[in-house]
Structure 1
């Protein structure tokens, strides 16, 4: 409330970074922010930006219908990876072939690209920044999944099945030993997070599309 009083008539941009972490440690902040917005902040010339890297928390806890902040947002923007042709700016001197290899490892994420040095070869960067125990990217994939998902063991089982070549729904069910309904649910979540995607043959009929598909 005091912050609103100090704003005056000027244009102010307030950015709250990693808001899900604040919610996790102090859940009443959602109701407090809602109250502050309704009583004071909405009447000022302020642009409030709430940012969070945890997609699941942002969607289920902050933007969802049950959230105290529901109905107060004016827009949302889901940030994605940078386009491939910008990777060369992080690693000048790398060939297109090497940049393609880097893309396969980093997924066009700036924080990951910054871990690679243009003064070292692709192989050297992978050994030092990905395969070396304790390196920034050594356990990054597992860390991100544990942050986003509530039952990571089941998701790991599904991803391991897909990585081993079992990319059809029935094959994934058999490989994981999980119930069909659970596999379907988990695959939907993985698709929403952009980790996997469903593909069907271009010649498939509508009936086949509802049943067939590979991941």
Structure 2
């Protein structure tokens, strides 16, 4: 079943109906659904679409398989069976009259470049001499971020400046994830999203006719579950020095949030760690943050695990892999490790990410009380209270700020918490302050009285997040 991606499909259709040659570069991390989206798009234009998935085989083998699809779409003769190089394919296209719009989709195209360093210069020559004069919509899709950036964003490379469109496919938001689980309540959807994140493949594994507990045991804790070894699989697919990268992830997971703290835990050179952190960030596994409004203060940089399933795996699974590999049943392990407090504490950290998505959607739709130039976390010294302060989310411009508190607890947001939220306002130093409270259980009666009829206060429950 195909879910979501309406904007992306419209984008593809707009390029398809263009009156000129188009070359789209589609990229995004593994498991985000690039191939699935392209297959769905191609299914609506099957007779006009060459859909080819490259592999690590030789140029000859890839060309042979590509030509099978090209022959089907162009209804060409057996001449295509003899082609063995991409140059010969381009020559054939040059000599062929193409009257109708043709899609050429090459999935995992970076394999072609990795096996043939001349692939990019040959393609550049074909674009300039042949393809741009044809009624063709070319889509190159890949997951290797560093290779794609090197090929298309490096001004010294042949393909620089040749793409006409770029689409980085993002994971689903928590709202989009809800479509996978019509039988689950909003709170259950937030729980699943906090565990799996927005990867369509992961979301499709959970069955809403089962409880969340049953899904976790089946997919995450059992050695036969798809997600049990998923993190190791991803790291091996994306990276070479997997042990070192995993050491960084484990250090961050254990609470090391600064470069010095990570360096101390790992015992390795800081410059090397910073380089590897940058790779993990580009892959979407970790997040690098500076306090909102203070982007130039690099010394305040903090690191955290961005991907929800990475965070869940290192919190609940990795440290007890030996036990789960046969020493204890997944069901018993779940009953011991997944207490309400443990799960709520974990979800509480991911809840901030969810509330930030909500705020960014409001900003995109022009539904904030002002135009926000930046949205993010803030931490630092409170000049009035003379203490270190952390603000879950701030949306701000030069004059105004929305200061947000996110609480995923069993109790309503109370008056003491309201007082702490108000006391954080001097940290931001804006003329107009708004206070938004995101609370799983709403607010106490005392808070309701204090903020009644005050337009600069808003309260959002889980129900409101899905409205």
Alpha-carbon distance in 1 for matches of 2:142, 2:292: 37
Cross-structure match for 1:157: 247
Cross-structure match for 1:102: 192
1:164-211: CA deviation from partner (whole Å, max 9, x where unpaired): 1111221100001110111111222222222222234459795xx221
Gaps of 5+ in 2: 1-89, 304-467
Deviation larger for 114-123 or 63-72: 63-72
- CA separation of 1:205 and 1:122: change in aligned 2, threshold 3 A: closer
Alpha-carbon distance in 2 for matches of 1:202, 1:106: 27
Query: Considering only CA atoms, is the larger Rg found in Structure 1 or Structure 2?
Result: 2
Alpha-carbon distance in 2 for matches of 1:56, 1:139: 24
- Cα deviation for residue 52 of structure 1 reads 1.0
- CA separation of 1:8 and 1:127: change in aligned 2, threshold 3 A: same
- CA separation of 1:31 and 1:181: change in aligned 2, threshold 3 A: same
Cross-structure match for 2:437: none
Decide which of 2, 5, 10 is 2:100's aligned counterpart. Answer: 10
Deviation larger for 141-150 or 11-20: 141-150
**Retained in 2: the 8 A contact 1:55–1:148?**
no
Cross-structure match for 2:170: 80
- Cα deviation for residue 4 of structure 1 reads 4.4
> Which protein has the bigger strand share?
2
Alpha-carbon distance in 1 for matches of 2:265, 2:234: 23
**Retained in 2: the 8 A contact 1:54–1:147?**
no
1:42 paired with 2:103, answer no
- CA separation of 1:84 and 1:8: change in aligned 2, threshold 3 A: same
- Cα deviation for residue 20 of structure 1 reads 1.9
Cross-structure match for 1:136: 226
Alpha-carbon distance in 2 for matches of 1:213, 1:119: 43
Cross-structure match for 2:301: 213
Cross-structure match for 2:237: 147
Structure 1 stretches of 4+ with a deviation exceeding 6 A read none
Cross-structure match for 2:267: 177
**Retained in 2: the 8 A contact 1:56–1:148?**
no
- CA separation of 1:130 and 1:203: change in aligned 2, threshold 3 A: same
- Cα deviation for residue 29 of structure 1 reads 3.3
Gaps of 5+ in 1: none
TM-score (norm 1): 0.86
Alpha-carbon distance in 2 for matches of 1:7, 1:81: 39
Decide which of 3, 24, 28 is 2:114's aligned counterpart. Answer: 24
Alpha-carbon distance in 2 for matches of 1:192, 1:68: 23
- CA separation of 1:58 and 1:135: change in aligned 2, threshold 3 A: farther
Alpha-carbon distance in 2 for matches of 1:10, 1:186: 47
**Retained in 1: the 8 A contact 2:152–2:160?**
yes
- Size of the alignment, in residue pairs? 213
Matches within 5 A, 1:107-118: 107-118=197-208
- CA separation of 1:73 and 1:88: change in aligned 2, threshold 3 A: same
Question: 3-state SS of the aligned residue for 1:59?
Answer: helix
Deviation larger for 69-78 or 196-205: 196-205
Alpha-carbon distance in 2 for matches of 1:26, 1:68: 14
- Cα deviation for residue 103 of structure 1 reads 1.0
- CA separation of 1:164 and 1:3: change in aligned 2, threshold 3 A: same
Alpha-carbon distance in 2 for matches of 1:56, 1:144: 16
Decide which of 257, 261, 274 is 1:167's aligned counterpart. Answer: 257
1:65-111: CA deviation from partner (whole Å, max 9, x where unpaired): 45432221112121111221122211111122221221122211111
